[in-house]
Chains A and B, each alone.
Chain A
């Protein structure tokens, strides 16, 4: 009868002030701080103003001209204004013209000049050129580049998202990944007072005991998330986009986070080590996934970012918020399901092994 166990774990977790602070108060404070701190950086794009960059074609080959034309088309489709400057020093031009960046197209090469006074625009240009050339290289493998029309289908940079919406979404998700903290006090007590031992003097299997911990943690974290999401809407006006899809993603995200935390606890059998390990993993995943520096402006390669489940979740939710749709919804859910299944299996196996080994 694990429902009574689940019910009482739930009560224990909801009676903890630490959980309220962690799941509701802390993310809201961070949302307020980060959205305010990065407001200047991101507000430039909230009003829909155009990003202006200069360019010059320096190569003599036909393919270079074609590539530059394709780049201009892609830029125009994404709301960038490109101005050609056939002469002059790019460094002087960006300073005198007060534009974010300048790109020169050579034969097989390109150079991006960035204006430090407009660093956000410069980073967007750098990202955009890099992404364009990646697409161009991929297209060159299988098609005639002379006639190719290259598009940036889903630019990471979206000018519609503001710092409040971005951090309002991202920080709540990030703290959801610290789900194991909800059970920390209880698990510590269970170990100290040998309650775990007493639970094992019953017919409950390791998988049932795992579920009895998993379900209440997920419930409490979801409850905390719902409260903080509602408060983020009321206090900061955060837009969460498609409510149903966002809720599904948050649910899978919390489930994966809980499974990760429980797996660490079952392996280490020590809540302090578990928290250190989980926080480290989550911090790294969040670092590459856009939890601190916006994933649009971070310099990490896309391949590294995609290794982080938090990147998929963040991107799906942010795109749902500002565009109403996202290609990352499926990958975010699948990634979370994979983490949940994998971690749960390892946790139950570790629990059984520990029991077989005889340590109580």
Chain B
């Protein structure tokens, strides 16, 4: 298993405010990599730079061994992005939403039809393929959001808080599917504020604060950085110890 993604001195400044500061992370193929951080830590900007939506002020992103910026059009088909927001059209049917987003990656005709059904089946919405997305519950919309990003079989899946505001059943279903995708060969980058989720599915975790990675390792390794007896501490306590308890009022 080699490195699938690497950031080299990745930096983003907005009006002289450093949002991401010389970030160096390396993600191995087959990992579920958790990215944690308080609001305003720079997680979303990092994700946006990895996806190529935001251009870095300095530094590079290397994806599948190549400079992502220079080879973006060739590499982008290997990337699937599931934003925190429900990025679907309510006035489109479930299958139409999946068709719209899957077709962006050059998939067409009979293959596109197969991929639509495959993606909907994967998230348990095949029977609802003809229903308008606006009629779906929160959990169903979240699952459709995922279906829209996996139809092109990406090698790297980026989940930005995919379980916000949904019931425990839907959350459990989504987490199982993320693990299943990973078993099927996809590398996953996962951000969430739910520490138990991160601990349950991530093979490695990085904690970000003020635009920098302040700690990286498995959940147990992170716990060991704080106390010797890892059974006496939760990941949330580790997070709060490392980032502090001060409220982070953050304006997007």
Contact = CB atoms under 8 A, between A and B. Distances in A.
Interface of A: 1, 3-5, 8, 11-12, 15-16, 186, 189, 192-195, 197-204, 355-360
Nearest to A13: B91
B215 interface: no
Contact of B87 (A186, A198, A355, A357): A198
Given A1-B108, A202-B76, A203-B77, A195 B89 contact: yes
B55 to A, nearest CB: 5
Interface in B129-156: 148-149
A197 B12 contact: no
Which of B77, B96, B104, B108 has the largest count of A CB atoms less than 10 A from its CB?
Answer: B104
Given A4-B99, A8-B100, A360-B54, A193 B88 contact: yes
A1 B101 CA distance: 10
Which 6 interchain pairs have the tightest Cβ spacing? A4-B103, A202-B104, A358-B54, A194-B85, A203-B73, A201-B81
A210 to B, nearest CB: 15
Interface string B86-100: 111111100010011
20 contacts: A1-B103, A1-B106, A1-B108, A3-B103, A4-B108, A5-B104, A193-B86, A195-B88, A197-B51, A197-B81, A198-B83, A198-B148, A201-B76, A202-B105, A203-B76, A203-B77, A203-B105, A355-B53, A358-B12, A358-B55
B65 interface: no
B51 A12 contact: no
Contacts of B81: 197-198, 201
B218 interface: no
Contact of A8 (B14, B51, B76, B96): B96
Nearest to A16: B91
**Residue of B53, B76, B84, B101 with highest tally of chain A CB at under 10 A:** B53
Given A192-B85, A356-B55, 8 more contacts: A1-B103, A8-B92, A11-B96, A189-B89, A189-B90, A193-B85, A194-B87, A198-B81
A195 B76 CA distance: 17
Contacts of A5: 100, 103-104
Contacts of B96: 8, 11
B112 interface: yes
A189 B72 CA distance: 27
B103 to A, nearest CB: 4
B48 interface: yes
Interface of B: 12, 14, 48, 51-55, 72-73, 76-77, 79, 81, 83-92, 96, 99-101, 103-108, 112, 148-149
A246 to B, nearest CB: 33
B91 A12 contact: yes
A1 B104 contact: yes
Question: Which of B84, B100, B106, B149: most chain A CB closer than 10 A?
Answer: B100
Contacts of B84: 194
A213 to B, nearest CB: 13
B87 A193 contact: yes
A12 B92 contact: yes
A255 to B, nearest CB: 24
B112 A4 contact: yes
A148 B149 CA distance: 76
Contacts of A11: 91-92, 96
A1 B55 CA distance: 24
Residue from B51, B84, B108, B148 with most neighbouring chain A CB atoms (10 Å): B51
Contacts of B12: 358
Contacts of B53: 197, 200-201, 355, 360
Contacts of A199: 104
A358 B15 CA distance: 12
Contacts of B86: 193
A97 B167 CA distance: 86
Contacts of A4: 99-100, 103, 108, 112
Contacts of B54: 358-360
A197 B84 CA distance: 11
A1 B83 contact: no
Given A1-B106, A203-B77, A197 B87 contact: yes
A186 B72 CA distance: 27
